[in-house]
Amino acid sequence: MTFDDVSDSAQPPAVTITGTRSARMTPVLAQAFATYLRPFALPDTRFYLGGAVGIDSHALLWLAEHTDSSLIVVAPSTMADQPAEARDAVDRAAEAGRLTNVVELGAPRLGTAAYHARNRWMVDRSGLVIGFPAGTARTSGTWYTLDYAAERGMPHVVVPVDSSEGGVLEP
């Protein structure tokens, strides 16, 4: 199966990135991005990222520095409602001229329902989901998103993150 096979041929390919908020940017995480994101980071690929701390922000900045792909940040409400660290990552990508768009979904209240709605919105516009979950408990938003993709028969890649090591990926 090629990347073209998992994307709507009428639009450029799109990938949703989801992951734990507890990840730290480390050389191991950067290598995981090179291994699992770079193969899909074609110039016409659109990446949807949730605009949160952790994997969302780290992947955004890594993609901004290492690829020419389109980068779209999706906030469940507004970017003003996102944590300062996440807003800073979005600002840095924008200042570098690497941010294609910011989508603010306008949820009236932040909470699990708003984050799940944001994640479904991204998945529904993608042909592939790459998730970086911490642990195997299916209670996290990352697993919710991966399971949502799986229920739709969508290809998805799971890259486990070891939260006991501050987000360093397991070997």
Please indicate, yes or no, if residue 87 is contained in any of the structural domains: yes
- Domain containing 49 equals 13-169
Please indicate, yes or no, if residue 121 is contained in any of the structural domains: yes
Residue burial 100-139, b: 16+ Cβ < 10 Å; e: rest: eebbbeebeeeeeebbeebbbbbbebbbbbbbbbbbeeee
Residue 78 CB coordination number (10 Å): 14
Residue 160 CB coordination number (10 Å): 15
Please indicate, yes or no, if residue 57 is contained in any of the structural domains: yes
Domain holding 61: CATH number? 3.40.50.450
Please indicate, yes or no, if residue 27 is contained in any of the structural domains: yes
Please indicate, yes or no, if residue 69 is contained in any of the structural domains: yes
Tokens of 90: 């979005």
Rounded to an integer, what distance in angstroms lies between the CA atom of residue 123 and that of residue 88?
24
Residue in this structure with the two tokens 């600002």, named with its chain if needed: 91
Q: What is the pLDDT along the chain (171 residues), one digit of tens a residue?
A: 334 444 444 566 999 999 998 888 988 899 999 999 999 999 999 999 998 999 999 999 999 999 999 999 999 999 999 999 999 999 999 999 999 999 999 999 989 999 999 999 999 999 999 999 997 778 788 999 999 999 999 999 999 987 655 454 544
Please indicate, yes or no, if residue 3 is contained in any of the structural domains: no
Please indicate, yes or no, if residue 2 is contained in any of the structural domains: no
Please indicate, yes or no, if residue 153 is contained in any of the structural domains: yes
